[in-house]
Amino acid sequence: DGDLVVVEAPATGAGRVVEASDEVGLDGLVLENRQLLVQLGEDGSVTRVLHKASGRETLAAPGNRLELYDDRPVEFDAWDIDPFHLETRVDCAPADSFAVRTQTALRCEIAFVRAIGERSRLTQVVRLDAESPYVEFHTTVDWHEEHKLLKTCFPLDVRAPTATYEMQFGYAERPTHFSTSWDRARYEVPGHRFADLSEHGFGATLLTDSKYGYSCYGNELRISLLRAPKSPDPDADLGTHTFAYALLPHAGGWREAGVVAAGLRFNVPVRWCATAPPVPLAAVDDPNLVLDTVKRAEDSDALVLRLYEAHGARGRARVRLGIPFTEAITANLLEDDGEALVVEGDEVLMPYRPHQIVTLKIR
């Protein structure tokens, strides 16, 4: 019926509606739940994010700073971002207005409207949910700039020589300084669902649902949001864009904080359906392993599970299946049969190595 509820659900199975153990409150421009206190500015910035469990302030300066850069690559207009764009930063104008969009026990939202550049408008809804460990920024942009690059910047109260970026089936670390020519050449980093800056004991992550360019210099972590190239398509990227990102402060490093799982939850919300199996299709007891793919084999009726080790760890996991089966074997990416694995009841015992991509065939 459209009401917001709290759901408890396993990764690949049916969930259930549960009673909320937390509420979110709104006082002026301050949003607060059990985990976070978030203070917003009238200009649309975030002036404070307190991580209650650790007592740490997340920001060293106001965050969610929207920035415009000149974006005129020497060669490939739609493909390259050249380093001299870093010298052309202009902060976007502050928000024209703001209004409370939602105020309930489970969700509070404040919407900001502002001009971006010369011809564009942005509406951004800042959201904090009950029990949520991150503050979300749901953004709609009517984009009509030319040769401009839009970024958002979060100056973090974190100091580290490298930042971490999710990539396909793993992660990459890149320096946060320009000490050498090699470091300077890595001013823009491709990534998937998150970028993280962590020091010993505390860190902060930016989650995204559809953005794949990041950068970090010093303590300033950025997401590249929109570009406006004119070649080969003069109308490329013009029009309405809708996307979301979130700021997730956490105790410990990104591995201990479960950032990979948080990125997945941010990108793949719970789906409502009329019926569902009583037990999960598959489950893994080890947080280092991610079950990425479930499919039918290309040349048989076997079920194929593809997992990857996400943290650089080594160990032995148990994969529990919710369907009957008689054997489990390893396979390569072409699904050629490998070695038989030990099966104990409805569980498969699976050893794994750091950064390994594991393919299982279930019969």
Give the model's confidence band at 38: pLDDT under 50 very low, under 70 low, under 90 confident, else very high.
very high
Give the pLDDT confidence score for residue 1 in this predicted structure. 64
Residue-level pLDDT at 276: 77
> What pLDDT band is residue 207 in, cutting at 50, 70 and 90?
very high
DSSP string across 64-87? -EEEEEE---SS-TTT---GGGGG
Q: What is the mean pLDDT of residues 97-113?
A: 98
pLDDT value of residue 279: 85
Give me the pLDDT at residue 3, please.
Answer: 86
CA–CA dist 224, 189 (Å, integer): 10
The answer to whether residues 358 and 350 touch, using CB atoms and an 8 Å cutoff, is: yes
Question: pLDDT by residue (tens digit) across 108-127?
Answer: 999 999 999 999 999 999 99
List, for residues 5-30, the tens digit of each pLDDT value: 999 988 888 888 999 999 999 999 99
Mean pLDDT for the stretch of residues 52-68: 98
Average pLDDT over residues 90-94: 98
The answer to whether 65 touches 45, Cβ cutoff 8 Å, is yes
Sorting pLDDT into bands at 50, 70 and 90, what band is 88?
A: very high
Average pLDDT (150-175) is: 98
pLDDT at 335: 95
Q: How many CB atoms lie within 10 A of CB 262?
A: 20
- pLDDT for 278 equals 78
Q: 6-267 belongs to which homologous superfamily?
A: Golgi alpha-mannosidase II; domain 4 (2.70.98.30)
Task: State the fold for domain 282-362.
Answer: Immunoglobulin-like (2.60.40)
Q: What is the pLDDT of the chain when averaged over all its residues?
A: 96
Is the pLDDT assigned to residue 341 strictly greater than 80? yes
Determine the average pLDDT of the residues in 162-170. 97
Range from 111-120, 274-283, 284-293 carrying the lowest mean pLDDT: 274-283
- Give the Cα separation of 133 and 131 in Å (integer): 7
**Are 164 and 287 a contacting pair, CB within 8 Å?**
no
Tokens of 97: 């207005």
**What's the start-to-end Cα distance of the chain, in Å?**
41
Residue 294, pLDDT > 90, answer: yes
What tens digit of pLDDT does each residue of 190-202 get? 999 999 999 999 9
- Among candidate residues 241, 31, 39, the one with its CA nearest the CA of residue 123: 241
The answer, yes or no, to whether residue 31 has pLDDT greater than 90, is: yes
- Residue 42 pLDDT > 80, yes or no? yes
Neighbouring CB atoms inside 10 A of 40's CB total 23
Q: Can you tell me the distance from the alpha carbon of 177 to that of 7, in angstroms, rounded to the nearest whole number?
A: 42
Give domain limits for the chain: 6-267, 282-362
Task: Choose between 266 and 271: higher pLDDT.
Answer: 266
pLDDT of residue 7: 92
Confidence of residue 323 (pLDDT cuts 50, 70, 90): very high
